[in-house]
Structure 1
Amino acid sequence: MALEIDGLAVLCAIAEAPEAFPAIRSDVTKAAHALVTKQLKAKTLDLPGLRAVREALGPQPLALIVDGLKDAEVKALATRLDKHHPDLKDAPAVTHRRHLMALAGTLAPVSAPAAKPKAKAPARPRAGAKSAAKSAAGPAAEPAAASAEGPTAASPAAPADALASAAMAARPPRRPRQQD
């Protein structure tokens, strides 16, 4: 009959007396990395669980392990923990890593957007009523209705500030180097 050992107790003993285990030092590092990575990839990991991992390891070791994860794994974890963040879907990998570490610290995830009530479409007049109203108003009403809409009704809204415009975000062309 095989006896089972307490793996955590053995790992604690190895950690407390590393000089007794010099031949397995690299294996301990690999195992620790693999175990924490597996915990981070667990589907059951939530924000309090991530914060508990950070509290147990400290911010620097966790950052090193997160840095070792694949970009897709970090993106999946960050978007799972902060589902409603608007910038995470198209952000680069470095943004996902920073956001994940901020969430592990004290950053709160973005809350779900409030559901907007659907506006009812205005009631459409019957076909006979529309033509009767048009003939009663006469041809002078048509240009007034067109000018009320104006060109701004069809054009998109202007950016809130000048820095948000595409022209301000564009990079200037590179200048050729002058050779002396």
Structure 2
Amino acid sequence: MALEIDGLAVLCAIAEAPEAFPAIRSDVTKAAHALVTKQLKAKTLDLAGLRAVRNALGPQPLALIVDGLKDAEVKALATRLDKHHPDLKDGPAVAHRRHLMALAADRDPVAPPAARAKPARGPIKAPGKGSAKGPEKGPGKGPETAKPASKASPEPAPAKARPPAGKPAPADALASAAMAARPPRRPRQQE
């Protein structure tokens, strides 16, 4: 009967002593990419899970992995985590990637639109008509010269979420991901 090994412990050991495993360095990179990609594609991944992945990896390695995902996968993930964002349905792929990284960096998703209130039932007045006695007579009055009802102003676009006070705005991780990637943490060895 084969015993199961603790995969995380083995991966941690490989990360702590990469010089002992020079022949598998590229395999470790591929495996790490595949594992994080699988986590991002998981149906159970929610916003808190995405933020936990970002906190564990850092913004640059996550940005590199998100950059490696297919456009459709990024769009599906971004729209699943922020269902009510108006620009995600028709936006370009780079906008989906940036929005996903912003969500991972503490941007709040767009709130669902408020339920529309039904108008109160009551007497409906036609525009241009006077009181119940009938239309007003006289120059400049009546339906011929009545001003059209002004259209209701559209709701303002939702404001972009800002980082909490005291936190700097997240840098565009996609633009500098390759330049600032950090290696995994290694414990100090005592001499």
The CA deviation string for residues 53-81 of structure 1, in whole angstroms up to 9 with x for no partner, is 00000000000000000111111111111
Partner in structure 2 of residue 71 of structure 1: 71
The 5 A counterparts of 1:28-177 are 28-120=28-120, 144-148=142-146, 150=147, 152-153=148-149
Q: Name the structure where helix makes up a greater proportion of residues.
A: 1
Q: Please give the alpha-carbon distance, in whole angstroms, between the structure 2 residues aligned to 1:79 and 1:146.
A: 49
User: Which protein has greater RCO, CA pairs closer than 8 Å, 6+ apart?
Assistant: 2
Give ranges in structure 1 of 5+ residues lacking alignment. 125-132, 161-180
After the TM superposition, list the runs of 4 or more consecutive aligned residues in structure 1 that deviate by more than 3 angstroms.
120-124, 155-160
How many residues are paired up?
Answer: 147
Look at both structures and tell me which one has the larger radius of gyration over its CA atoms: 1
Which residue of 1 is the match for residue 21 of structure 2? 21
Secondary structure of the 2:145 match is: helix
Note the residue ranges of structure 2 that are not aligned, 5 or more in a row.
Answer: 125-131, 156-191
Matched-pair identity in %: 78
Q: What is the rounded CA distance, in whole Å, between the counterparts of 1:108 and 1:67 in structure 2?
A: 21
How far has the Cα of 1:18 moved from its partner? 0.7
Q: Write out per-residue CA displacement over residues 75-126 of structure 1, whole angstroms, 9 at most, x where no aligned residue.
A: 11111111111111111111111110011002111111111112256668xx
Q: Structure 1: how far apart are the matches of 2:114 and 2:152?
A: 23
Change (3 A) 1:56 1:147: same
3-state SS in 1 of match to 2:36: helix
Normalising by structure 2, report the TM-score.
0.67
Question: Once superposed, what is the RMSD of the aligned Cα atoms?
Answer: 2.8
Q: How far apart in 1 are the matches of 2:122 and 2:92?
A: 43
